[in-house]
Amino acid sequence: MPYRFYFALVQPLLTAVLLALASPSTAAEAINIYSARQEALIKPLLDRFTDQTGISVNLVTGSGDALLARLRTEGRNSPADLLLTTDAGRLYRAREAGVLQPALQDLPVALVPGHLRSPEGYWVGLSMRARVLVYAPDRVDPAELSSYQALARPQWHGRICVRSSGNIYNQSLVASMLATQGSEATQQWLQGLVENFARPPQGGDRDQIKAVASGQCDVALVNNYYLGAMVQSEDPQERAAAAKVRLFWPNQQQRGTHVNISGAGITAAARNPKLARQLIEFLLQDSSQRWYAEANNEYPVRDDVPASALLQSWGEFKADQLDVSELGRLNAAAVMAMDRANWK
């Protein structure tokens, strides 16, 4: 049997044996994290935590859906103490799947506002992102822009770019519409929006920004931090594309711009729940919140921590105060509504 094949077979067993043989003191001084955030976007903070506390952190990264499936499969035998993922919809799914425990209900509201956390204490937001409009200033007068709902008007026919309906950021936006506008109005909006697509949905948020910059469309729906990343990119083509577009805050005269979170919850199988909570509290400290804003172009969940200079350059905005738990609760209804509207 080839050595590599043999090692692939026995590696999971060896890992389990090593974990079982680990001394209690060793296990108590380490936190195991399943993270849907890219390593570069979270590891610097985890390294700071280890430097300050002496507690080591073991990081496993992957897609949010894959990590949730892994937690469900592992059940009570999961080595993970903490799930760190993006979008309230995924956090809601994790809570519904029974892989989180209600260990955060007594976190001070001053750290995380009530609408950005699970009311039962299963998860909390760590950073906030906004679903904004980017537009081509040479083809769009910002006075023409107003709200998400207005994108369904005939004037935008063939002028809008957006990624697929399979993307959870779009699903959560639609869920927020269902929560605030109702099913009938949301369905009508979806029909008009899809009719105004400039092309079949494709690519990620950066691709939508590039499409606006290149003239394939005039307006796109994106998360704000993608534009920030392109502004600061080492790739000159990305910086050039970002320089050709502008950001607009929708729904400022109504409920406010739709916001979502990245967040964390302590797993139901956690062997070190107290240490996991200590790490969450560290991620909510002033310095950690500022780092999120500077490095990731996301907004602090804490009202008393200022945004980065780049984020501030986009101006202040009114954020929707909808309980983000609704984004998860209404996710299935949002997906069905998008399917009915033929949003591919």
Residues in the annotated binding site: 225-226
Separation CA 260–CA 327 (nearest Å): 9
What per-residue string of b and e applies to 243-264 under the rule 16 or more CB within 10 Å gives b? ebbbbbbbbeeebbbbbbbbbb
In the DSSP assignment, the letter for residue 76 is G
Cβ atoms of 183 and 333 within 8 Å: the answer is: yes
Cβ-Cβ contacts under 8 Å for 91 (sequence gap 6 or more): 85, 100, 118, 122, 123, 261, 263, 265, 328
Separation CA 225–CA 231 (nearest Å): 10
State the virtual CA torsion across 223, 227, 233, 236 in degrees, nearest 10: 140
Separation CA 30–CA 6 (nearest Å): 29
What token pair was written down for 256? 């406010």
Binding positions for Fe cation: 225-226
Separation CA 334–CA 339 (nearest Å): 9
Separation CA 64–CA 99 (nearest Å): 13
Q: State the angle between helix axes of 205-214 and 224-231 in degrees (0 to 180), rounded to the nearest 10.
A: 70
Helix (H) or strand (E) holding 219: strand 219-223
